[in-house]
Amino acid sequence: MTAQILDGNALAQELRESFQSRVAVLTAKGHRPGLVVILVGEDPASQVYVRNKVNACEKVGLYSEKITYDKDVNPQVVLDKIAELNADPKVHGILVQLPLPKHFDEEAVLEAISAEKDVDGFHAENVGALAQGNPRFIPCTPYGVMKMFEKGGVDLTGKEAVVVGRSNIVGKPMGLLLTNAGATVTICHSKTKDLLFHTSRADIVVAAVGRPRMITGDMIKPGAVVIDVGINRLPDGKLCGDVDFDSCKEVASLITPVPGGVGPMTITMLLANTIEAAERKAAQ
């Protein structure tokens, strides 16, 4: 069996085109969606992601702004800026690019963002709403994965889903979304005793662990759906995922590539959340 490849670039493009009319309606009513992205430090990957976020906003017609701080900035300066942005009516979404430098209390920064403007979906109120099955803002990467299931015609009801990785950004919200969609979910992580036992009986495997090509074809069930959330930079500069694409594509029924899979969907769903935030504000 050779898997069907789910093209994240194509789906991202399709969705972004569909956003333009919503942005036009909001803008005509004086509620042009606005996103502010805060970047602390000079991490090269974060710089690329932030630039791509701002460019994506511009292409779809959103107002966007990037605010950068030196890596040694006093965290209070960032907290003060967030307080100012929380009160700014032209800003519908606020995002702090992660990871933050070590001297930051990441949780305190994320909690400082107003839940109504938390387009990353990382605020405790939004995490709680998702856990209750009544999501307000869904974290962008798992949200993108759900859109990919939809596009691929994957019915999640009653399926055995294994998420490898328990991060707050991907693994945990992914587990909640799959649970809400009716899948039976197992979250595996570094302390899991027998990873192979879990992956090899799963109908759906989502790899979000940050280890290059660790999920190999012999670890998955024939016909499984394999979603690769990993983005690992190899010593030769090339990107690869957490899934060994070449061996897994011979076993899976549906698979996402890296690059060009989940990554572009992350930024697309950030646009979706920002537009949604502006629509809610306009409706008030």
User: Which lies closer to ligand LMY7XDAE via its Cβ, residue 49 or residue 104?
Assistant: 49
User: Which lies closer to ligand LMY7XDAE via its Cβ, residue 40 or residue 251?
Assistant: 40
Respond yes or no: is residue 53 known to be catalytic.
yes
- Distance in angstroms (rounded) separating the CA atoms of residues 208 and 70: 29
To the question of whether residue 200 is assigned a binding role by annotation, the answer is no
Q: Which of 81, 118, 120, 147 is catalytic?
A: 120
- Whether 196 and 219 have beta carbons less than 8 Å apart is answered as yes
The secondary structure of 143-155 as a DSSP string is HHHHHHHHHTT--
The minimum distance between CB 196 and ligand LMY7XDAE, in angstroms, equals: 26
Binding pattern for the stretch 115-144 against ligand LMY7XDAE, x by CB under 6 A and - elsewhere = -----x-------------------xx---
Of 275, 231, 199, 267, nearest to 20 by C-alpha is 275
Q: Cβ–Cβ contacts within 10 Å for residue 131, how many?
A: 15
Q: CB-side exposure of 163: number of CA atoms within 13 Å?
A: 24
254: tokens are: 């549906």
User: Which lies closer to ligand LMY7XDAE via its Cβ, residue 188 or residue 269?
Assistant: 269
Size of the site for ligand LMY7XDAE (CB under 6 A): 19
- Whether 265 and 16 have beta carbons less than 8 Å apart is answered as no
Cα torsion for 24, 27, 29, 35, to the nearest 10°?
A: 130
User: Which lies closer to ligand LMY7XDAE via its Cβ, residue 49 or residue 63?
Assistant: 49
Binding pattern for the stretch 254-273 against ligand LMY7XDAE, x by CB under 6 A and - elsewhere = ----xxx--xx-xx------
Task: List residues near ligand LMY7XDAE by CB under 6 A.
Answer: 48-49, 95-98, 120, 140-141, 169, 231, 239, 258-260, 263-264, 266-267
